[in-house]
């Protein structure tokens, strides 16, 4: 097994665009349970109660929905500089920025399809009022209660024109290829991939648009994790009670094994709530492969969204 690069420690934040800024922010605060950390110009910064950093979601007003950028934290300042050198050798670097609210200087780069990403080291921790701090010292904050609240950012899923090319790109940056989805015909053509830098199932997932699927933005969805299946079911009630639309009802993925649901925020971005995915500790785990005919997206449904079937 070749030696992996270890530049990146974790997924730190995701920026999304929305044409309806205040309505979208209201959805993520009042219904999903994120908390506002700051505002600047036409952007709002949010975090979940179980997160230590200043924010995990940046919502920016724009003419269309979609991905703004993905933020990755480096393993150290030294690893940041090594990552920059390596990215520049790959020829996909965009250059340094001074940073943003919540983190220091960052080096920006692009995936083969142009998804904007950045890597940084210095971060600002969330400012938690003393009365809101948890007695459990491994938690930054008490669970806020009073309704449904996600705990942490889990992953981001991207649409790509060439899954294999993007999968190889992320592997060069040190990601493990944990699971793959292949077409039955032509054999071994990759249309999905799950990759991670930690022991999570994935921090980034890659998918090709299925046949007859309407063109969408450059992002399939962002995902936040909760503690268990019951909280996913509670979330379905809470989202519907607040007048928002479920994009897919609660079910279970075969790939990644998590219990999940999808919803649409007011800007049209897809949002996933996720629980129960296994952790992969072995450095040589995977990739586990799935065929499209096995319906890896939905373990319990007879409909196969990956090949364009109508949703249940």
The two tokens of residue 252 are 């279970």
Q: Which of 35-39, 124-128, 129-133, 145-149 has the lowest mean pLDDT?
A: 145-149
Distance CA 238, CA 242 (A): 6
Domain 152-305, classified CATH 3.10.180.10, yes or no: yes
Q: Which positions ≥6 away from 239 have C-beta within 8 Å?
A: 31, 148, 245, 246, 261, 263
Average pLDDT across the chain, whole number: 92
Would you say the pTM of this structure is higher than 0.75? yes
Closest to 204 in 3D by CA, of 181, 225, 223, 229? 223
Given a cut of 90, is residue 261 above it in pLDDT?
Answer: yes
Q: Per CATH, which fold does 8-126 belong to?
A: 2,3-Dihydroxybiphenyl 1,2-Dioxygenase; domain 1 (3.10.180)
Closest to 59 in 3D by CA, of 104, 103, 14, 29? 14
Q: Strand 43-47 relative to strand 57-61: parallel, antiparallel, unpaired?
A: antiparallel
Cα-to-chain-centroid distance, residue 218? 13
Average pLDDT over every residue of 262-272: 96
The segment(s) of the chain belonging to CATH 3.10.180.10 are: 8-126, 152-305
* pLDDT tier, 102 (very low <50, low <70, confident <90, very high otherwise): very high
Q: What is the pLDDT of residues 13-46, one digit of tens each?
A: 999 999 999 999 999 999 999 999 999 999 999 9
Most confident among 79-88, 128-137, 183-192 (mean pLDDT): 79-88
> Is the dihedral angle over the CA atoms 9, 140, 58, 155 positive or is it negative?
positive
């Amino acid at each position: 097994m070749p030696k992996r690069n270890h530049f990146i420690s974790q997924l730190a934040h995701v920026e999304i665009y929305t044409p309806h800024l205040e309505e979208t922010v209201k959805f993520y605060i009042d219904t999903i349970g994120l908390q506002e950390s700051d505002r600047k110009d036409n952007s709002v910064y949010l975090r979940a109660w179980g997160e230590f950093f200043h924010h995990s979601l940046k919502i920016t007003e724009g003419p269309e929905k979609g991905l703004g950028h993905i933020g990755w934290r480096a393993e150290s300042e030294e690893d940041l500089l090594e990552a920059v050198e390596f990215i520049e050798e790959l020829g996909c670097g965009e250059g340094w920025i001074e940073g943003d609210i919540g983190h220091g200087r960052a080096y920006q780069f692009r995936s083969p399809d142009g998804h904007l990403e950045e890597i940084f080291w210095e971060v600002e921790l969330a400012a938690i009022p003393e009365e809101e701090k948890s007695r459990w010292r491994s938690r930054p904050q008490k669970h806020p209660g009073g309704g449904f609240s996600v705990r942490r950012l889990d992953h981001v899923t991207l649409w790509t024109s060439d899954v294999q090319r993007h999968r190889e790109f992320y592997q060069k940056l040190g990601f493990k290829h944990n699971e793959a989805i292949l077409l039955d015909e032509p054999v071994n053509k990759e249309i999905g991939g799950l990759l991670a830098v930690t022991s999570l199932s994935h921090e980034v997932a890659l998918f090709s648009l299925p046949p007859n699927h309407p063109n969408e933005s450059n992002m399939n969805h962002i995902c936040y994790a909760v503690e268990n299946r019951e909280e996913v079911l509670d979330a379905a009630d809470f989202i519907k009670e607040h007048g928002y639309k479920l994009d897919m009802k609660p079910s279970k993925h075969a790939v990644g094994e998590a219990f999940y649901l999808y919803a649409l925020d007011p800007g049209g971005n897809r949002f996933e709530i996720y629980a129960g995915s296994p952790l992969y500790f072995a450095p040589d785990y995977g990739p586990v492969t799935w065929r499209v005919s096995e319906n890896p997206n939905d373990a319990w449904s007879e409909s196969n969204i990956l090949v364009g079937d109508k949703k249940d």
